[in-house]
Chains A and B, each alone.
Chain A
């Protein structure tokens, strides 16, 4: 198989998906390639913080300014992925209150609203905050669901003609006369090999980008900075809580959906290890101790899992933690830099600035292709947030409801709102009304913790490139709740088997249980250990797996 494209984008994180979207919107024939599922790297392994930029205001003004601009854009174009709840930067007695002055000044300089409030006011607005605080500043932090955000970009790219391949890994670049002409691929599910050709190849592979660049003989020195985080079983706080001091370990607490996330640590790890990282007991210790400083309730709140990711920082100096490296965006033209034409690397940056990174990369692609089209990603809302969403493209007509609960094309949810339709709207925005409902077989619950119905699973299979449980989890939150897949994994695997066949679904179930355990194992004590024992009971004893 060989296909001709204008541009190939490598990497299914937010940056890659955003770049593919931008390219497609500008009329380029685009292919997006991801070696596993979307958001498998740093995109899916962070706080889900909708940064105001305040965290960088003092040390990295450029990133701070980028963050606040993108923050405001995402609130418009990705409304269904964002929770707007503001954030606090608190000063504790052991911190220097002088820092607050500098902090507010630098925020204002970067264009970030920063209001000093009294500790009493802070406690009233956020009762979970450490009552020992002596100062507080409110900033426009929020939270963002990176899974939802990335898939929305992928969907929009596809709607504008892009092809998308998941579970395809780039094994080498096709290079002719100092020019990258395409990629050789391996299907990671079947082992089949293939190739794809394009005039320009964009390397948006995050930390793995250093390995892709190497294939073109280019050296991009990365600084793999591992960050570990913990998820608590319920939403302890309703505002983001930060420490008002120099960024350090475990000083951000982010509420999102029904949970709260504390993070992160920051440690340099060897690039060879980034595919097999685990959260260490020492990191758990640090996260718990520091987390209780932000919100004392964390000390007695159940931890449902631990996870870690690797920031794709671009190496600059000998900073052993990577805390001082700029979160700034790096876009490399390998033609001028390394004499390798048709090849671009976009890296650095943050989840918050993925859209801007995509814009910068796509600008460079267009310039190379001689295409004169303006970027529109900051104005055009993503699928799910658009007033008129993708149902027209997919021509979905679904109305089984004897009660007229839903009918094609119009959203009459407000009149007959159920809890399930409410959470589905949260997950899919205004695409939610394309989910089949109003029939017992479609309304049956696959996942009780997160209220996922059979209809929703089938919708995700049909429209959101879902064949596996891990994909289903990222699109619908199935298995993300307190039971961590105890009952829902098997139910969902059965529904998925209609598409993949039973054998693949069985293997997938085993992998999924192991993936869930990977996050539970570092925090396997208390309720989490009890839950793990019950999962063993269900799958090993009752089911005989």
Chain B
């Protein structure tokens, strides 16, 4: 199978670069293992400043967002967000603008820490009540918060603007929505999305021009190699298995891209959970033009993007990179 670009990893970075490339007229194939970090999404995209190109791309895919401002965490804190899904509670300033809040407690649902949320809002001088789904009608509170779970989305459908969604514990329904919309859009514009498969091997070719990826092989397709002009490596960090580790080293499993991981295992972690954890900074290495380095040599058609470069990168950083790489191909 021959493509212009093959993208390894079907998460946010992979899908957005795939959509951009497909819209530029390329033939693109995304190979996804099945799980992505989007399943841990808060309903907002993190980062300093949103890029209008990103927002427009998401809109085309059917994902409406609000730029800038602050999102409300499940613990009731306002945190800056680059983009927030429409329908979620969102504040333009670092202060809650409303005086009264109601939180809907869904039967048998523990994904929203209601007690903590209530306490934080109350501490900011807000009037907070906890109501059942039946009490939404006639509830006098200015804002009615419902957790972003299946039942919460159903309430949102019923009551529309009267209720605002708030992020809850994973699995993230908003993340699954974002993922589904992006995937559908990518496929609608002609992209090939291989789901539930895994790249297990790659062939690198070395000649006078340097090192190139020749082909990749997946678990399910076996001998039927996938060949492309360009390869984007968007397979994520440890949590998505884009990086792997054992007791004595860290490696990138598909191409063997070099990493910045310290040799000594004890240097991967800090003793306190809340300290900056060094492993969050572990990523693969690239040259200045963004080509992956394998054994110190740049691979001229392989571009790492997203969390495989470091897990602390914001969504917006990843998205901007995805667009930049795509536009240069």
Contact = CB atoms under 8 A, between A and B. Distances in A.
A542 B115 contact: no
Interface stretch (A144-152, A459-467, A533-541): A533-541
Contacts of B303: none
Interface in B84-133: 107-111, 113-116, 118-119
Nearest to B74: A543
B265 A505 contact: no
B324 to A, nearest CB: 24
A288 interface: yes
B79 interface: yes
A284 B247 contact: yes
A521 B110 CA distance: 28
3 closest A-B pairs (Cβ-Cβ)?
A517-B273, A502-B119, A544-B73
A545 B41 CA distance: 15
A510 interface: yes
Given A525-B245, A544-B73, A444 B273 contact: no
Contacts of B268: 524-525, 529
A441 to B, nearest CB: 7
A104 B116 CA distance: 59
Contacts of B246: 525-526
A514 interface: yes
B57 interface: no
A487 interface: yes
6 contacts: A503-B119, A516-B273, A524-B265, A526-B247, A529-B268, A533-B238
Interface stretch (A33-41, A62-70, A492-500): A492-500
B110 A444 contact: yes
Interface residues of B, number: 45
B115 A521 contact: no
B42 A490 contact: no
B110 A525 contact: no
Contacts of B277: 532, 536
A266 to B, nearest CB: 22
Say what secondary structure dominates the interface of chain B: loop
Nearest to B169: A487
B73 A444 contact: no
A541 B314 CA distance: 10
A446 B119 contact: no
A521 B278 CA distance: 12
Given A494-B110, A537-B37, A521 B271 contact: yes
B51 interface: no
Interface of B: 37, 40-42, 46, 73-75, 77, 79, 107-111, 113-116, 118-119, 167, 169-170, 172, 237-239, 241, 244-247, 265-266, 268-269, 271-274, 277, 279-280, 311
A301 interface: no
A440 interface: yes
Nearest to B72: A544
Given A454-B110, A525-B265, A544-B77, A494 B279 contact: no
A502 to B, nearest CB: 4
A245 B83 CA distance: 64
A502 B79 contact: no
Given A526-B247, A533-B279, A533-B311, 7 more contacts: A285-B247, A444-B108, A502-B118, A506-B116, A514-B274, A524-B269, A536-B280
A491 interface: yes
A544 B268 CA distance: 23
Interface in A126-158: none
Contacts of B118: 502
